[in-house]
Structure 1
Amino acid sequence: MRRIGGFRSPGSRARYDAVYDEGLRALPEPAARHDVPTAFGTVRVYRFGADGDPLVLLPGRCGTSVMFRTSIPRLARRHRVHTVDLLGEPGRSEQTAPIRDAGDQARWLDETLAGLGLGEAHLLGVSFGGWLAANLAIRRPARVASATLVDPVATFAPLPPALVLRAIPVGLPYVSSWARPRFLAWVTGADPADAVEGRLVSAGFQHFRIALPRPVPFPGEQLRGIGAPVLALIGGRSVVHDPRRAVARARELLRHGEAELWPDATHAMPADEVTERTLRFLPGR
């Protein structure tokens, strides 16, 4: 495995950037853009809205800030929203040092929030972003006012072997062109070409080599130790874990948690409904 993630070639970066720019044009105009230095590289963050408690949005793998396109306007009416392009993934963040383990993952995110001047913030994490949010709540609890975890991978239940096996062809030459859209459609229940978010995720898998440690579920004592309020939303048709096992473990271990199983939802949970449920969970006017 490469020690630092990066684009496969200058041409790959140019092709990816064209899709990323399309995604940016679909977002509301940011109030600010930040490139925050950390020990592992520079993290791109966009801010939307000016008032309210800070809310930090952490996307799923290859999702970037564009993943939250439809949620930002509603969330920014009540919160100062910061969207993060994850370090070590495609987007506008630039990794410069290896990220080796969960401790490093918590450190770069903690340094990002510090660089934004946030003492603590509410977190909303989707998929791998949900794992990152839980990881920060465990390792840097003073940073986390609350955490909303939207079908978080490898948080309450492990990745199924079928998921790992089906992901292998996505990165292989000659077969990725047909394997990638099939894999993403299987995971999300939708054709990735139907929306700019899906096209950007697909372009990320195609053009970028990720060199990050695989997330693993947290021990029970770590989940029990989370002091911040947690809302865990689990898709009943998700293929990234056993949904019933995940929600049962969340209910058992989260001392200040709410865990819900949405029976008809895939891993790509409905953004509008997730947004409204998050706003009901968060404090504020």
Structure 2
Amino acid sequence: MNTVYKSEAGASELRWRYREALDAWPVPAEHIRVPTREGETFVVASGPQDAPPLLLLHGSGANATAWQGDVASWSRHFRTYAVDLIGEPGGSAPARPPLASDSHARWLDEVLDGLGIASAPVVAVSLGGWVALDYAIRRPRRVTRLSLLCPGGVGRQKMSVLVTTLLLRPFGRWGARRSVCAVVGLKAPEARPILDQVVLTFKHFRPRTERLPVFPDDALRGLRMPVQVTVGGRDAMFDSAATARRVRECVPDARVNVLPDAGHALFGQTDSVLAFLRD
């Protein structure tokens, strides 16, 4: 049995839901499988093949469908590559190499090489933001721009969310939905489809328990590419105030946006990110 899932039946259900979601991808897409040392990596490519590349990295407990609301806009200007992170509930291998190593950078090297990409801008969220930052720090020549949404590895990772989730677990589906609302900062009536999908995913999926390493100031100061960071003021996962402060101090030319009423899940950023990418 695949250890990132709680059961093979649950894994099958999530795979079926993922295929269904990919069938509803808003623009024509190509599905690419790239062999790497960590196993096969699944990528959804959209946009003109001769357009400049754009790499998309989703967050924990997600997959390429996290970008369905953005890809129609971005793929008019870029060849977008929505990469399923390894060890997450998508189409990539279940491998979870240690975060406190260069394993993810070496994995992304192979993904980019397999796609024929020498360098590209990267848009990433949460765990994907950590992976993108790690890669930009280790491989600065391969990242031309960096747009991060609620990235990990900068501000303190909060543990209160875990406590809330554990306290609500005995209350079944109601408790699961309440815990998701606490994490992403959304109310059920306004985002029922998203909430239902997240609840279903974590019913069957085992999330990572490894804390995200925090990047030291010197590493952040070494970022030379244009950087955009957007955080939610009510982020329950990371200390967004500290994220904004450290980025402003260590990357003086970075564009830092704090959305005071937003939580960890940020919506409506398509145009802002696109403007940064095309600047």
Q: Please tell me whether the aligned partners of residues 187 and 267 of structure 1 are also in contact (alpha carbons under 8 angstroms).
A: yes
1:137 lines up with 2:133 in the alignment: no
Q: 1:108 to 1:168 in 2, by over 3 A?
A: farther
Q: Distance in 2 between matches of 1:160 and 1:211?
A: 15
Segment drifting more, 36-45 vs 159-168:
159-168
Per-residue displacement from partner, 1:212-236 (whole Å, max 9, x unpaired)?
A: 7331221111111112211001111
* Alignment partners' CA distance in 2, 1:175 and 1:104: 38
Change (3 A) 1:29 1:78: closer
Give secondary structure in 1 for the equivalent of 2:40: strand
Q: How many residues align structurally?
A: 276
Q: Is the 8 A contact 2:186 2:263 kept in 1?
A: no
Contiguous gaps of at least 5 residues in structure 2: none
Determine the structure 2 residue equivalent to 1:19: 17
If the length of structure 1 is used for normalisation, what is the TM-score? 0.88
- Structure-2 separation of matches of 1:176 and 1:98: 28
Most deviating of 13-22 and 106-115: 13-22
Paired AA for residue 270 in structure 2: T
Task: Indicate how the Cα distance of structure 1 residues 36 and 5 shifts in structure 2: closer, same or farther if over 3 A, else same.
Answer: farther
Structure with the bigger RCO (C-alpha within 8 Å, sep 6+) is 1
Shift of 1:175: 5.7
What do residues 52-91 of structure 1 show as CA deviations (whole Å, max 9, x unaligned)?
3211111111221111111110010111101011100111
**Mean Cα displacement is larger for which, 47-56 or 117-126?**
47-56
Q: Is the 8 A contact 1:236 1:263 kept in 2?
A: yes
Matched, 1:281 2:276: yes
Of stretches 77-86 and 157-166 in structure 1, the one that deviates more from structure 2 is 157-166
**Residues 263-278 of structure 1 correspond to what in structure 2 (within 5 A)?**
263-270=260-267, 272=268, 274-278=269-273
User: Using a 3 Å threshold, how does the CA distance of structure 1 residues 18 and 213 change in structure 2: closer, same or farther?
Assistant: same
Find the counterpart in structure 2 of residue 218 from structure 1: 215
Q: Is the 8 A contact 1:184 1:191 kept in 2?
A: no
Q: What is the CA deviation profile of residues 10-62 of structure 1, one whole-angstrom value per residue up to 9, with x for unaligned ones?
A: 21122212322332233124431111111111110010101432111111112
The answer (yes or no) to whether the contact 2:85–2:92 under 8 Å persists in 1 is yes
- Structure 2 counterpart of 1:107: 106
Distance in 1 between the 2:173 and 2:193 partners? Answer: 18
The answer as to whether partners of 1:226 and 1:255 remain within 8 angstroms in 2 is no
The more displaced of 100-109 and 229-238 is 100-109
1:21 partner letter: R
Q: Assess, with a 3 A threshold, how the Cα gap between structure 1 residues 111 and 168 changes in structure 2: closer, same or farther.
A: farther
Report the counterpart of residue 38 of structure 1 in structure 2. 36
Residue 177 (structure 2) aligns with: 181
Aligned 8 A contact 2:34 2:40 in 1: yes
Distance (Å, rounded) in 1 between the aligned partners of 2:65 and 2:194: 6
CA distance in 2 between counterparts of 1:110 and 1:180 reads 37
Q: Which runs of 5+ in 1 are unaligned?
A: none
Q: Could you tell me whether the CA contact under 8 Å between 1:147 and 1:229 is conserved in 2? A: yes
Letter in 2 for 1:26: A
CA shift in 2, pair 1:169/1:52, >3 Å: farther
